Amino acid sequence: MSNIPNFSTLVDALESNRSNNKSVTYIEASDSEESVTYQQLYDRALGLLGSFQRQGVSEGDELIIFTKNNRQFVDAFWACLFGGIVPVPVAVGISDEHRAKLFRIFNKLQNPYLYTDQENSKRLQAYAECHDTPVTMERVTKTTIIADAGVGGGVDVTSLGVTNPGVTNPGVTNPGVKADIKPESRAFIQFSSGSTSEPKGVILTHHNLMTTIVAIAERGQYSADDISLSWMPLTHDLGLIGFHLSMVVYDMNQYLMPTDLFSRRPLVWLKKAAEHKASILTSPNFGFKHFLKTYTPEKFSQIDLSSIRLILNGAEPISIDLCRQFLDTMAAHNLRRSAMYTVYGLAEACLGVSLPIPGKEFEYVSVDRHAVKVGDQVTFLPVDHSDALHFAIEGPVVVDCEVKITDFNNATLPHNHIGEVQIRGANVTAGYYNDDAANAAAFTGGGWMNTGDVGFFYQDQLVITGRTKDIIFINGQNYYPHDLESIALRCPQLELGKVVACGLTQDIAKESMLLVFILFRGALSEFGAIAAEVKRLINEQMCLEVTHVIPVKQIPKTTSGKIQRHSLAEQYWRGEYNQVLSEIAGMNLAQVKCSGTVVETAACDGLSDIESQFKTIGAQAIAGKPLRLDDNLFDVGISSLELSEIHQQINDLYPDVIDITDIFNYPTLAELAAFSKMKVDNKS
Task: Give the range among 256-265, 385-394, 449-458 with minimum mean pLDDT.
Answer: 385-394
In a domain, 230, yes or no: yes
108 and 210 in a common domain = yes
For residue range 415-424, what is the model confidence (pLDDT) as tens digits? 999 999 999 9
Confidence of residue 654 (pLDDT cuts 50, 70, 90): confident
| CA 311/CA 281 separation, integer angstroms | 5
Query: Which CATH number do you get for residue 667?
Result: 1.10.1200.10
556 and 444 in a common domain = no
229 and 99 in a common domain = yes
List b or e across 14-47, with b for residues whose CB sees 16 or more CB atoms inside 10 angstroms: bebbbeeebbbbbbbeeeeeeebbbbbbbbbbbb
Mean pLDDT of the chain, nearest integer: 86
Q: Structurally, how many domains does the chain consist of?
A: 4
For residue range 662-672, what is the model confidence (pLDDT) as tens digits? 888 788 898 89
Nearest to 29 by CA among 229, 244, 262: 262
Find the mean pLDDT for residues 593-612: 52
Query: Which CATH number do you get for residue 93?
Result: 3.40.50.12780
**Residue 524 pLDDT:** 86
Give me the percent of the chain exceeding a pLDDT of 90. 58
Give the domain-ending residue among 265, 288, 319.
Answer: 265
221 and 137 in a common domain = yes
**Residue 603 pLDDT:** 35
Find the mean pLDDT for residues 263-283: 96
User: Which residue has better confidence, 195 or 28?
Assistant: 28
Find out whether 178 and 83 touch, Cβ atoms under 8 Å.
yes
Find out whether 58 and 160 touch, Cβ atoms under 8 Å.
no
Give the domain-ending residue among 206, 241, 265.
Answer: 265
- Cβ-proximal residues to 628 (8 Å cutoff; 6+ apart), any chain: 597, 599
CB atoms near residue 364 (< 10 Å) = 20
Query: Which CATH number do you get for residue 463?
Result: 2.30.38.10
Please give the model's pTM, rounded to 2 decimal places.
0.81
Give the domain-ending residue among 265, 295, 325.
Answer: 265
Tell me, rounded to whole angstroms, the distance of Cα 171 from its chain centroid.
37
CB atoms near residue 556 (< 10 Å) = 16
Domain that holds residue 380: 364-467
**Residue 684 pLDDT:** 64
Number of Cα atoms under 13 Å in the Cβ half of residue 452: 15
139 and 60 in a common domain = yes
| CA 188/CA 410 separation, integer angstroms | 30
Confidence of residue 114 (pLDDT cuts 50, 70, 90): very high
In a domain, 100, yes or no: yes
pLDDT for residue 185 is more than 60: yes
54 and 107 in a common domain = yes
**Residue 217 pLDDT:** 97
**Residue 604 pLDDT:** 39
For residue range 6-32, what is the model confidence (pLDDT) as tens digits? 899 999 999 999 988 999 999 999 999
**Residue 469 pLDDT:** 67
| CA 670/CA 648 separation, integer angstroms | 17
| CA 284/CA 233 separation, integer angstroms | 12
**Residue 474 pLDDT:** 79
Find out whether 91 and 116 touch, Cβ atoms under 8 Å.
no
For residue range 609-643, what is the model confidence (pLDDT) as tens digits? 788 888 888 888 887 667 788 888 887 777 777 88
Find the mean pLDDT for residues 537-552: 89
437 and 488 in a common domain = no
Q: Is 326 helix (H, G, I), strand (E, B) or coil?
A: helix
User: Which residue has better confidence, 86 or 523?
Assistant: 86
613 and 587 in a common domain = no
User: Which residue has better confidence, 155 or 185?
Assistant: 185
Nearest to 212 by CA among 362, 420, 10: 10
In a domain, 306, yes or no: no
For residue range 365-379, what is the model confidence (pLDDT) as tens digits? 999 877 888 899 999
Give me the percent of the chain exceeding a pLDDT of 70. 88
Query: Which CATH number do you get for residue 558?
Result: 3.30.300.30
For residue range 465-497, what is the model confidence (pLDDT) as tens digits? 887 767 677 776 657 687 788 889 889 888 877
pLDDT for residue 89 is more than 90: yes
Find out whether 214 and 88 touch, Cβ atoms under 8 Å.
no
In a domain, 489, yes or no: yes
In a domain, 136, yes or no: yes
In a domain, 339, yes or no: no
Identify the top-confidence range among 404-408, 563-567, 671-675: 404-408
The DSSP line for 250-294 is TT-EEEE--HHHHHH-THHHHHHHHHTT--EEE--HHHHHHHHHH
For residue range 33-83, what is the model confidence (pLDDT) as tens digits? 999 999 999 999 999 999 999 999 999 999 999 999 999 999 999 999 999
pLDDT for residue 167 is more than 90: no
In a domain, 335, yes or no: no
515 and 458 in a common domain = no
| CA 664/CA 668 separation, integer angstroms | 9
500 and 385 in a common domain = no
640 and 527 in a common domain = no
In a domain, 345, yes or no: no
173 and 80 in a common domain = yes
User: Which stretch of DSSP H or E encloses residue 645?
Assistant: helix 640-653
pLDDT for residue 194 is more than 90: no
CB atoms near residue 683 (< 10 Å) = 9
**Residue 606 pLDDT:** 57
